[in-house]
Amino acid sequence: MKKVLKLKIVVVVILFLGYSLNAQTVERVEPPFWWSGMKNTSLQLLIYGENISSLSPKIENTAVQITKVHQAKSPNYLFVDLDISYAKAGKFEILFLKGKKRKLTYHYELKARKKNTESKLGFGSSDAIYLITPDRFANANPKNDIVKGLKENKIDRNDDYARHGGDIHGITNHLDYIDDLGFTAIWSCPLLTNDMKSQSYHGYAITDYYQIDPRFGTLEDYIALSEKASKKGIKLIMDQVANHCGLEHWWMKDLPFSDWVNFQKDFEAGKPTTYSNHKRTTNQDFYASNIDKKRMSDGWFVDSMPDLNQRNPFLATYIIQNSIWWIELANLGGIRQDTYPYPDKNFMAKWAGAIMQEYPNFSIVGEEWSTNPLLVNYWQAGANNKDSYQSHLTSTMDFPMQKNIVDALKEEESWGSGLVKMYEGLANDFAYANPEKIMIFPDNHDMSRIYTQLNEDVALTQMALAYLLTLPRIPQIYYGTEILMNDTAKPGDHGLIRSDFPGGWQGDKVNAFTGDGLNSQQKEMQWFVKTLLQYRKNSKAIHQGKTKHFAPNNGIYVLSRTFENEQVILFLVKKPQILDMEYYQELNLDTVPYKNILTGKKLQFSQNFNFDKVGVYLFTSKL
């Protein structure tokens, strides 16, 4: 009897195992859904499931057509090309056949597009962007601080490199504060899942390109943030990463092709990582060696961030579709693309071109961390490059001017140092295709805080902010700059640069959102930023006016912006003095009354004007 029972058990186990081996499922389809009515009517689906390549996909009784099916090196992938030219919104079935027998059915959806989504305006010189590291801004939902199943499962606000708990709701709950300051756009560091073992708070080691990190919230939370921000006239800019992913990305355990990531053979063999040489000039250098070019674009940043190979056509399509998916779904006002010169540059042109073709009025800013204006200009659309390269990138980041501002304010005044650095830096605008579309900033999440860079000098910090907010540029300011947040204790330390915004956590003794506990200097800076931004928001002279500046003279630099009957004039004063205004007579200062934007006082310029202290003097003819 026992033998019979054992035999029955063995048979059942064998049958169960056989069923399990044959019970295929579709684990992932990416993009998870799409839209009808897009300009590009081709769609490529990445389909993932155990041994899925042994099945043949088929679509019946619908306008959606399969044009080609691609198998990968891994048997667990299929890449399916669809033609959706005549497809209407709705769900349809994808059948997976073994021979003629149906094995699986997957329901895919084409959604209806929202009205006017293709006419997105992006961001421009009339905007002011607030950069936020979400984990460090505000924790509105402590319940999602620790999510079961994720590899990093602790919160420690005493550790600069641990997660602190900030989330999407924390941003949404303080939209009034951001709006009241005068910002018109929010750029958040990446909010997608970073399921890494440690130091994943920053967001740049993405492990799922289609999922909001549950410690930040849900997809619905992100869409709600976009919608609520939009009602206040605030755009949402998404930080995206095409160059690399996180080591714990789901596909790293089962790569579809042998060239999905760079130096993949070495990675799979457990060999030491080949790192990028960071020689970004190889993108433009006519004389660059092939090995230097390869090390630059193919080398990894760090061991935990595999470098993606955008020359693989399936990965290229994947990245392009992912960007468009987020634009369409979240009604984005722009994209900031991380480490722009590091991926394959021909792919990046194709990526940006595909987005701009779908959304001609959209905006994309790329990070080129170089203080050489020639390199910054190379990446902007319209640049007259000798190699005929066209990036389709609307905006670049003004690292050259950022350095000029800091150097100019810290240096002693002389013929070749001090404020002349700003003057000559702005003179380089002749080299740029569209200088007014370049993004200028005092600091960001990767560099020392401006207050620290300027040796905690409030007057110099205000001068830096006033200058960049008056330039023909798109200004970006990092959260906390308005309250003099700093990293002076450990200059350049990333964890400290990204400190918690006071008041974002229950029990904080200082609350910058309400002003409680701020010292007088912090309150003054907050008021200063708000006053400038609120004026800037409605100033066409700053948005699109003619620019004129005068060579610095004895510690004073003058910049004017003029549009129709509005003239804005900025005096940066490093040395208090009575200034002979005859030198600036071409501005016609004595013809109309002016108002001090910061004090509200009206005045008439006399021939000799007294600038009695170091700092910012900002005037407008618009009374």
- Residue 39 burial class via C-beta count within 10 angstroms: exposed 0-12, middle 13-18, buried 19 and up: exposed
With beta carbons less than 8 A apart as the criterion, state whether 328 and 356 touch: no
Question: Which residues, 6 or more positions from 429, have their beta carbon under 8 angstroms from its beta carbon?
Answer: 435, 472
The pair phi, psi for residue 334, each rounded to 5°, is 170, 170
Instruction: Determine whether 516 is an active site residue.
Output: no
- Helices 399-410 and 458-470 cross at an angle (nearest 10°) of 140
**Phi, psi for 507 (deg, rounded to 5):** 95, -5
CB-based contact 189:133 (threshold 8 Å): yes
The active-site residue, picked from 248, 328, 338, 407, is 338
Separation of alpha carbons 369 and 50, rounded Å: 42
Amino acid present at 81: D
Q: How far apart are the first and last CA of the chain?
A: 103
Catalytic residue among 367, 368, 398, 487: 367
Q: What is the 3-state secondary structure (H, E, C) of 321-359?
A: HHHHHHHHHHCCCEEEECCCCCCCHHHHHHHHHHHHHHC
Q: What residues contact residue 395 under an 8 Å CB cut-off, 6+ apart? A: 363, 364, 365, 366, 380, 437, 438, 439, 474
Q: How far apart are CA 198 and CA 205, in angstroms?
A: 11
What phi, psi does 583 have (nearest 5°)?
Answer: -60, -25
612 is catalytic: no
Question: Which sequence positions are flagged as catalytic?
Answer: 338, 367
